[in-house]
Chain A
Amino acid sequence: MNFSVLQFPASNCDQDAVHAVRLLGHSARLVWHKDAALGDTDCVIVPGGFSYGDYLRCGAIARFSPVMQAVKQFADNGGLVLGVCNGFQVLTEAGLLPGALIRNRDLQFHCENIFLKTATNDSPFTSKIPVGKILRVPIAHGEGCYFADEATLAQLKANNQILWQYCDVSGNLADSANPNGALQNIAGICNEQRNVAGLMPHPERACEPLLGSDDGKWIFESIFAALKNKTVAAAA
């Protein structure tokens, strides 16, 4: 499978994403923000960082880059898109995912390992995560507090769009396990069509035991499986 990892000025998790995908046996390449086409791509990763210095608002400027127009088209055609951290912020600003990410409630930048509960296995990003498995993955953000109005939240729940929530080590959605004040402990969501997802934690930084956890690989394995099914379906 071919992964395209976007590269904006001040992206800083782009290389990690490429490394993780290659480590797990697939091919990945970087796509510059000024490129208007993605090329041969099965899945797009919008990586973490501080795109365009996060001027104005996180992700606000990146949304207008040429490559994002190509990503929108790719997503509209059903292509899989995963936004990590700043990438999640870019996708909400671009309107590809509902809601917004605002300043952490304690005004602190959090760089730590957290625990994630997978709210549903029914998505191309979560299907291979073992049921009941609590994922231990790192976060590193100052503006990760998920916000959406009540109507949007109700819709997210009704459509099963909440994919991951912050929890404690036993899987309880405790407020004390919520690092940023996100509504409903939301760490990641998908769109209604389920082909675009974003999350604040960094699965690409947790794909090998050497880094302290390889729980992040389950998210990538889910994507690989979804892409494989798609290829089989297309060939049939």
Chain B
Amino acid sequence: MKAKIIITPKKAVLDPQGKTVQTALEHMGYTGVTGVHIGKYIEIDLAPGTDKAAAQKALNEAAHKLLSNPIIEDFKLEIE
């Protein structure tokens, strides 16, 4: 089993990396790009047979406390 966590900067937070990449894409001729947001992707391996609901609850807590900073970031958690 694997947990996948995608962390992105909150909309209100300055994302200079995203802006710089967006500008680069525009310079390369890619049109229609209205925003680029750069975040993090974390993959966590879980022991086979882990209870999915319990893992969801625990990792949700971990994502709030450590993996993301709720002041500046949002996260999405998926377990498969």
Contacts and interface: CB of A to CB of B under 8 A. Distances in A.
A88 to B, nearest CB: 14
B71 A99 contact: yes
Contacts of A99: 71
A100 B14 contact: no
Given A102-B72, A147-B72, A56 B17 contact: no
Interface in B9-23: 9, 12-14, 16-17, 20
A64 B66 contact: yes
Q: Give the one of A64, A92, A100 with max B CB within 10 A.
A: A100
Contacts of A103: 14, 16-17
Q: How large is the interface on B (under 10, 10 to 19, 20 to 34, 35 or more residues)?
A: 10 to 19
Contact of B69 (A60, A104, A106): A60
Interface residues of A, number: 19
A60 B14 contact: no
Q: Give the one of B12, B17, B20, B72 with max A CB within 10 A.
A: B72
Contacts of B14: 102-103, 105, 145, 147, 181
B67 interface: yes
A107 B67 contact: no
Interface of A: 56-57, 60, 64, 92-93, 99-100, 102-107, 145, 147-149, 181
Given A104-B16, A181-B14, 4 more contacts: A57-B69, A102-B72, A105-B14, A148-B71
Interface of B: 9, 12-14, 16-17, 20, 66-67, 69, 71-72
Closest CB pairs A-B (n = 5): A100-B71, A100-B72, A105-B16, A107-B16, A100-B69
